[in-house]
Each structure stands twice: as C-alpha cells, then as structure tokens.
Amino acid sequence: MINQEVSLQLAEDLGINQEGFERISKNIGRSPNLLELQIYSVMWSENVSYKSSFNWINSLPNKGENIISGARQSNAGVVDIGNGEYCVFKMGTHNHPSGIDPYQGAATCVGDVCRDVVSLGAKPLLVLSSLRFGEASLDRTKWLMDEVVKGVRDYSSVLYLENMGGEVCFNSCYDTNPIVNVMVAGVVPKDKILLNRKMIPGQLVLIAGNSTSAEGVYGQAESFTIPKGNPGIGSSLIDSILKLNDENAVVRIENLDMAGIVNAVASISVHAKTGVDIDLNQIPLNQSGLSIEQVLLSRTQERIVLVVDKEKQELVFDVFAKANIPCNKIGAIVEAKTIRFTEAEIVVAELNAHDLVMGYGAPQSNRKHHLIEKEVAIDFLENIPEPGNYWKVINKMVNIPNLIIKEFLQLNFEEKTNKSPSDAQIVTVNSNGKTLCFTVSGNSVYSFNNPNLGAQINIARAVRRIVCSGGKPLALNDCLNFGSPLEESVFSQFVETVKGISNASEFFDTPVVGGNVSFYNESSVLGKREAINPTPIIGMLGVIEPKTNHMSYIYRNKGDMIFLIGKSRNDISGSEYLCSIHKKCNVGVPYFNLDEEKAINNLVTKLIEKKLVCSAHSVEAGGLFFNLIESSMPLGLGFDVTSPAEIRADAFLFGESQGRIVVSVSMEKEDDFVDVMMESGVPFSALGHVTKGELRIDDISYGSVEEYKKEYQ
C-alpha cells in the first residue's frame, strides 16, 4: 500500500469535514492516503452521492403491478409491457456541459442514457428531449439551441434511434444555463434482462470501448474538459453488447459515466456483496502522462465495465474484436470485502465500496428547508380589463416563442413520420405490433409559483396526454433541475417538488422507476448568481392496447362536432397570456383538481374504446385557442366555436385551467356520445364544429388556418 501523509486540512480542502475524515479512517482502519481521499471526495460529492437529495427521492413510490425495477434499483427503470417483454427507459441530463459545449454536451447526454438502457440488455429504440433556453431573441440562445438540437439529432441518427422530438421552452432564467434533459427507451425479452444476475468470486471484470483519457475528470476545475462522444463507437459498442447478451455471455454491465471506473467498480462490489481487484496497468489509455486519479475518475465516453464468467471471456473478446472495439481484462471479483486498485502489483488504493455508493454508505446532508406557503388565489380578471381587439391578441400570441415552437415540432413530426400525431409520441416496438407511447412534460412557471402543485400538474398533464392518445399510463422517470441546494429557498422548492411528485405519481398509479437530480443550475445576472426556476421534467411511459385504440389530436372531417370535456373557467393564472399580454409573469397557478383529472381520464378512455370520438387533445399552454388550432393545422381544417356567456372570452380562449380535453365527434356518433357523457356526470359542453378552414369565434372570423400555417413554416 502506498502511504502518503494526509491532514485534516487537506481533507477539508477536498470538501471532506472532520467528521467525514474520521469516519473514513475508522471504516478503513487507518488514515487514508491522498488517492483514497481524492476518491472519497468525488464519490461523496453532490453530483455522485446525491447527498442533499437522496433521502427525499428515496421516498418516491417506485413499486407497482408492472414494475420490475424501480428507481434506485438499477441503472434504468424496467416495466413489464406484456407479451413477454420489458420496456427499459431512463432520463438523463447534461445541463452544465451543454452550457459550455452545447453540441457535445447534448450528444454525450444521448450516449450516456443509451448505455444505461443497454446495460440492462435492452436495445435503445427512441429518444425524446426536453430543452430549456434563455430569452429567445438572444444570439447566444439561438446558438445554444441550434447546437443542442444538432447534437441530439446527430448522435441519435448514427444509432438509428427514432428521434421523436419533445418540448422546447424559453425563459430568461436559462440565459446562461440551458437545461438539456433526454429520455431514451428500449425493449428487451424477459429472459434477456440483465438484472440481478448472480455475481460470484472468480468472475472477470473487463473494460470495453474507448481508451481512457483525462476528459471530464470531476473535481479538476482547472483542467476540466467536456467529454466528447463518438456515436460510431457507441453504436458498435451497443451492437456488441446485444450480441453478447443473446449468447448469455454477460453477468452485469456498468456504464462508465460520473466518477468513471471507481463508481462502476464500487457498484459491482456492493451488488455482488464481495470484493473486486482491479489492475490499473491493464486499462487502455489514449494519452500518456495520466495520473492514477485521472485514470480512475475519467468520464471518457463510449466505455463500459462488464462482469463475465471465465469460460465466456474468449467469446466476449471475439465479439468486441470483430467490431474493432478494444476490450481488456482489468480485474476480477474476489473473496474479500474491499475494492483494491493496484499499479505494478502495488496496492495504490483499498476502499470499502459500501462507503462510496449512493444509497448505501455514502453520507447524506440534512439541508435546511421550510414549508412554502400557498399563495392566496388571485382573481386576475378583476383588475385586468378585457381586450378590446382579439385580433391583436391572437396575432401576438401566435408569435410567442414557447407556442411557436410547440406548433413547429408537431408539424415537423407529422410531415417527417407520416403518422397520425397524438398528444403523446407513439412507437410500435416489434413485429407483434406492441404499441407504446411516451411524453415529456414540464412547466417551470407553474413550479416556480407553487412547486408542489406545479409538480402534480406536470404528472397530470403527462397522464392526460397518454390517455388522449389511447394509452394507459404505466410509469415515469423524472429529471429534477434546480439551483444550489445550499440556498434554503431553492432546497425548499426541491422538497416541495418531490412531495408533489410523490402525491401525484401514487394517485395516478405511475411509479417513479428512475430519474436524475441536477443542482447548481444558475445564471449570471448583473454579476450575481441566480437560480433557474425549479424545473422538474416528467418522462412517462404508456401502452396502447389494443393498438386500434390509438387516438390522434387532428380534426378529420368538416362538420364534426367539437366538445369540451371538463369546465371552462374564469381563470388566467400562470398562463402564457397573462405573462405575454399583461406582463404579469411568474404569478399564479391555474385551477387543478386531481379527482377531476382522474374522472375525465377514465371517461375519455371509455369514449376511445367505444369509438365515439374522432380526436382527443389535452388543453395546455396557450389555452383552448391553441388546442383548437393545433388540431386544425395538419389537414387544413378550421373551427367555429362559441364562448359561454358566463366565461370571459380571454379566459375561455387563453386560460390554462387544468382538467380539460377537447374531442371531436362525428354527427353519426353524436347521440351515443352525449348519452355516455350524461351518464358519466362529468361536465362537458358543445363548443362548435369543424369547418373547411375558416377560424370563427363568437361569429367573428379570424382568418383561415392556411394563413396561420404560413406563420410557422
């Protein structure tokens, strides 16, 4: 063992306090050397140990009828989708790297999440992204967005992933700190899932993929470089893993991401409940002069660590060799209680893996937080005069970046995939026609105004989209993006958000099967660091069964009746309209009621199963007007609707009160539709009918849908 004198002062310089230093010494039975102290420093950091957040995310519901592996149990969530198959899906985030090198930050985010999915034996099939950028008019914002979108697209295309779009939003709080959240999903037969396979002494530990460099070594601020992806190697690596899994040649796979080899080996050790020996001289390097710390903690992309049985090693080497992927034996599982790293047969570090891994022995911090008092509901309509000219309001609203982008993505999705677009993105995953649906949902304005309620709305909105698409929601992943947890106000937002997610996910029976926490997301404002709005992103999985239940949001036929399920309300709280037209931003949350959401969802599911509706579309950002125009655009149809006398027109058109779905109904099915609605007891109203292309509201023409389409193209 290499012994180097270390002091408490050095430990504190590395972020380890006296209590932590004494704990390390006690657990390993001696004073740690410098390398060991550096390893503890990184493994106990916020990014790796989740020391501020773990106890809270550990409280999230993660079990359910279809859940095979929930949050904290594996590298990605595993959900039983029937017919002998599992869906594996995961969300990841590369916010900080994307703020420095947006192309590589976004590309490597896709690669990282893909390797987490394939580490469980599933072939990655699709990617969705949830992106946040600063003020839309800024040149920096345009550059960041172009590079991030290109990074996601380029990496996905090499892996033949179906890029299903997602959501893009703008807010000045992200001016210097973009949010790049990515969800990847794949499917694996039940008998091929790489989960909980028995690890025993004598099995070998291999490393495969890129040679190790100094990229992304966490904790080295002065020499830190953004890791760069190589989708060509990434694709070959994934193909090789899938071939080996078909041959039952792999026991376990760990993606080499944050804290690199140390984190992967520690994870293997705690799950095997035994020791691991690693020979650092066997790790292939792509540059000379690397320190041991850099080798162990590097975040070089396109790398994995595998556990294999001895008798399978030649098969493994052969498969990787044919793919021109370097693969080396670097160690073995041993009869011991520690992980040992050697160089030239000298032990340079020996550690207890249990002390290092999140959720096992890594220490947790009890951050200060407080209950966030609910705001007294404000009736904004009392003090805001009704617009005198709705033409002007609509012309301004259709040019709001957050609403333009939504239309642009939906139109592109329709044109490029030649599918019938739905509120959720639809994918058929095998020859049996198994149809899954996915969506990503986030609204940082709601979450800023009321973190608990905002989180619940994000989940309810994701559920509503899947229901409108004809699906049954099964499970969710989350990405929780916040400012510094050292700020009590920020950490209080985080705590309230987790409480909201827990409440809504349990209510809708959509367990949390995976996720990610990203702290220290801040922008510089006049030389001061200011936290972003709390930005929880929900990624949800659903299944459409039978596939004939698939429902689109587009209007099909002139003359079809348009109905609103749920109630119109005199409510403009938290809306794009309130912010953009009346300059009252970050105030209020729209009306929301969980019980009403569930009743409406159950009813719409019944209507779709009975084939009584031609389209179904959730009312969301921009309110009813944008819901109607989104359904009109794809086939060039329009609408003629009438507002109820008791609801002010701006609230009717642009309010964002929750629990509302717009459906279209053919004249032949109208009587049956009304019968089901009356029997249900759920509020509904007739809005009007589908036109040939004109947009009419309260007998006033607002042009043709073709004029609006030109604005977006």
Binding residues for substrate: 115, 518
Annotated binding residues:
50, 90, 115-116, 478, 515-516, 518
DSSP 532: P
Residue owning tokens 């992967």: 264
Question: 3-class DSSP state for residue 580?
Answer: helix
Annotated binding residues for Mg(2+):
116, 516
474, exposed or middle or buried, with CB in 10 Å at 0-12, 13-18, 19+? buried
Given its phi and psi angles, is residue 609 left (phi above 0), alpha (psi -120 to 50 degrees) or beta?
Answer: alpha
Q: In the numeric block, which tokens belong to residue 99?
A: 């703020």
CA 489 centroid distance within chain: 24
Instruction: Count CB atoms within 10 A of the CB of residue 160.
Output: 10
Annotated binding residues for ATP:
50, 90, 478, 515
Positive or negative, the CA dihedral 103, 109, 110, 115 is positive
Give the bridge partners for 531, in sequence order.
522
Q: In the numeric block, which tokens belong to residue 36?
A: 């060991």
Positive or negative, the CA dihedral 568, 574, 580, 584 is positive
Per-residue HEC secondary structure of 64-93 comes to CCCEEECCCCCCCEEEEEECCEEEEEEEEE
Question: 3-class DSSP state for residue 43?
Answer: helix
Measured CA to CA, the distance from residue 684 to residue 79 in angstroms comes to 35
Give the bridge partners for 525, in sequence order.
528
Given its phi and psi angles, is residue 259 left (phi above 0), alpha (psi -120 to 50 degrees) or beta?
Answer: left
Task: Provide the H-helix boundaries in 633-669.
Answer: 649-654
DSSP H/E element including 278: strand 275-279
CA 92 centroid distance within chain: 6
Residue 519: phi and psi, rounded to 5, are: -100, 175
Measured CA to CA, the distance from residue 283 to residue 301 in angstroms comes to 15
Render the burial of 505-522: b for 16+ CB within 10 Å, e for the rest. Answer: bebbbbbbbbbbbbbbbb
Residue owning tokens 């796979």: 253
**DSSP per position, 160-227:** T-EEEEEEEEE-GGGSSS-EEEEEEEEEEEGGG--SS----TT-EEEEEESPB-STT-TT-TTT----
Q: Could you tell me the maximum CA-CA distance found in the chain, to the nearest angstrom?
A: 85
Residues 6+ apart with CB under 8 A from 540: 424, 438, 439, 440, 441, 459, 462, 463, 465, 466, 473, 475, 476, 477, 510
Of the listed 94, 271, 369, 689, which one is catalytic?
Answer: 94
| Active-site annotation holds for 96 | no
Residue 278: phi and psi, rounded to 5, are: -125, 130
CA-wise closest residue to 421 among 442, 405, 437, 399:
437
* Residues designated as active site: 94
